[in-house]
Amino acid sequence: MNGPDFFDKASLITAHDEGNAFDAVVPPIVQTSLFTFPNYDEMLETYRGEKVRPTYTRGLNPTVRMFEEMLAKLEGAEDAIGFASGMSAISSAVLSFVEPGDRIVAVRHIYPDAFRLFGTLLARMRIEVTYVDGRDEAAVASALPGAKLFYMESPTSWVMEAHDIGALAALAKSRGIPTIIDNSWASPVFQRPLSLGVDVVVHSASKYLGGHSDVVAGVVAGSKGLIGRIRGEAYPYLGGKLSPFDAWLLIRGLRTLPIRMRAHQASGLEIARRLQDHPIVEKVCHPGLANLLPAGLTGTSGLFSFVFRDGIDIRTFADRLKLFKLGVSWGGHESLIVPGEVVLQQKAQPNSAMAFGVHPRSVRLHVGLEGTEALWSDLEAAIDASEEKT
């Protein structure tokens, strides 16, 4: 939000490694599955753990490691691990903390596929999940006793409920319960959960970290001890390894993360305010419209939702938009919409969309980098067209 903060963080990601081949500003992609040893003794030392060097890319790859170190610095973490997707990061992290018979407490309206992971694979392992409104600290406090893990996301998916992360993390800490948070929405530019007392941060790097809609990836960050626990079992044996090329794309994406986030924030907030003032809009779910952001959240991104009043043809609205494309995901340069009434008809999991708080007259917007006025004209024209029809 404020200048100095951005540029402090920017220095963490713009510095390049002088040790790179040819002093290249952009690091080479070490696109290899394995690394050979010059002799028997070096292989033996490596296997004995006396020497740390790449052996096989599912374990350690220099390009992936460079991304992990940059992300760890941004989150203020001791260590990080890259994954092949956000879901791979989430499942590996969660499975490192629970066993059959355990109970997890989760905030409600988490990312739908995380909700489905909990309701399918984890349920089959007899792991139970209690959902609570993360804005209700008393409800969180009464759900926590006996839980093995507290799973957070703030702001939450679709309805964007924002929480006082520090307060919630303290409630879990006082009971010795480890905490994981999905920080994809705010990115480390606007929210650094480890500094607020959360134990482990997960990201869908497919969103803002990558920033160009050309990579699916994930990352987990935290202390050496907790990341070591994930690195020891779930990471190698579930095997959701981040590829060197995707890591290289993420390194490229991170260079511009702070300035992209500033642009998404400015356009997103302006469009949210104009929608809120528009007579056809019933409600806008954007944490930046409250008088105060929750403690620890220092800015807002470009993803939010709003609910139309009765009497709008959402199909016409969607088809009339030119800059906003119909599409899932978010965090790239492009503006996107997802109509709630479509999500509610998702065949694979008919009932689960209700659990995410999706209103049938709602629309989720991702405000990209096309420019506020152009995007607003696009929205206004589509709204006018869909009002005329009804």
Ligand X SMILES: *Cc1c(COP(=O)(O)O)cnc(C)c1O
The DSSP code for 17 is: -
Contact 209, 254 (CB under 8 A): yes
Could you say whether residue 301 binds ligand X (CB under 6 A)?
no
Contact 286, 269 (CB under 8 A): yes
Could you say whether residue 85 binds ligand X (CB under 6 A)?
yes
Other C-beta atoms lying within 10 Å of the C-beta of residue 108: 20
Q: Give me 160's structure tokens.
A: 């964007």
Closest residue to ligand X, based on beta-carbon distance? 86
Q: Which of 27, 62, 82, 86 binds ligand X (CB under 6 A)?
A: 86
**Stretch of residues binding ligand X (CB under 6 A), selected from 81-89, 92-100, 164-172, 257-265:** 81-89
Identify residues 227-246 at the interface with ligand X (CB under 6 A). none
The DSSP code for 132 is: E
Least Cα distance to 186 among 215, 163, 213, 212 occurs for: 163
Could you say whether residue 218 binds ligand X (CB under 6 A)?
yes
Q: Which of 96, 157, 267, 362 binds ligand X (CB under 6 A)?
A: 157
Q: Which of 207, 241, 286, 359 binds ligand X (CB under 6 A)?
A: 207
The label of the residue with tokens 């917007």 reads 365
Minimum distance from CB of 33 to ligand X (Å)? 23
Catalytic residues: 58, 111, 182, 207
Could you say whether residue 187 binds ligand X (CB under 6 A)?
no
Least Cα distance to 80 among 92, 178, 206, 50 occurs for: 92
Minimum distance from CB of 71 to ligand X (Å)? 14
105 DSSP β-pair partners: 130, 150
The label of the residue with tokens 């929405």 reads 185
Could you say whether residue 204 binds ligand X (CB under 6 A)?
yes
Per rule CB under 6 A, count of chain residues that contact ligand X: 13
Minimum distance from CB of 257 to ligand X (Å)? 16
Structural Rg of the chain based on CA atoms: 22
Could you say whether residue 182 binds ligand X (CB under 6 A)?
yes
The label of the residue with tokens 């579930």 reads 238
Of 118 and 317, CB closest to ligand X: 118
Could you say whether residue 183 binds ligand X (CB under 6 A)?
no
Classified as helix, coil or strand, 262 is helix
Contact 3, 12 (CB under 8 A): no
Minimum distance from CB of 200 to ligand X (Å)? 14
Identify residues 88-127 at the interface with ligand X (CB under 6 A). 111, 113
Minimum distance from CB of 94 to ligand X (Å)? 12
Return d(Cα 148, Cα 104) in angstroms, integer: 6
Question: Which residues contact ligand X (rule: CB under 6 A)?
Answer: 85-87, 111, 113, 157, 182, 184, 204, 206-207, 216, 218
